[in-house]
Amino acid sequence: MIKFSNKKKITIGGIDYQRALETAENIFYINYEQPNKIGSVLMLDRKMNILDNSILAFQTLKQIKKEKLYSWSSEKMKKYLEV
């Protein structure tokens, strides 16, 4: 079950994810406490449906950040991935 807290944070299975980066199509959330970066990324569509939570979400996030294809990024996210 997904619990939304004003969409800045979501909780899934007791794990908190912070809103990190947005594009026109997707919203990415990250669990910054997770040591494995690949397993810490959630990719959602604009209707808040989870599209991916594995390596695809991580690689997509990394590519979007590298190519600067995002419309918004949190301050914490700017430091999270060194591309």
The pTM (predicted TM-score) of the whole model is 0.88
Q: Which residues contact 28 (CB under 8 A, 6 or more apart)?
A: 19, 20, 21, 22, 41, 42, 43, 44, 57, 61, 64, 77
Q: What is the mean pLDDT of residues 55-81?
A: 91
Please report the pLDDT score of residue 38 as a whole number: 85
For the segment 19-64, what is each residue's pLDDT rounded down to a tens digit? 999 999 999 999 999 888 888 999 999 888 999 998 999 999 999 9
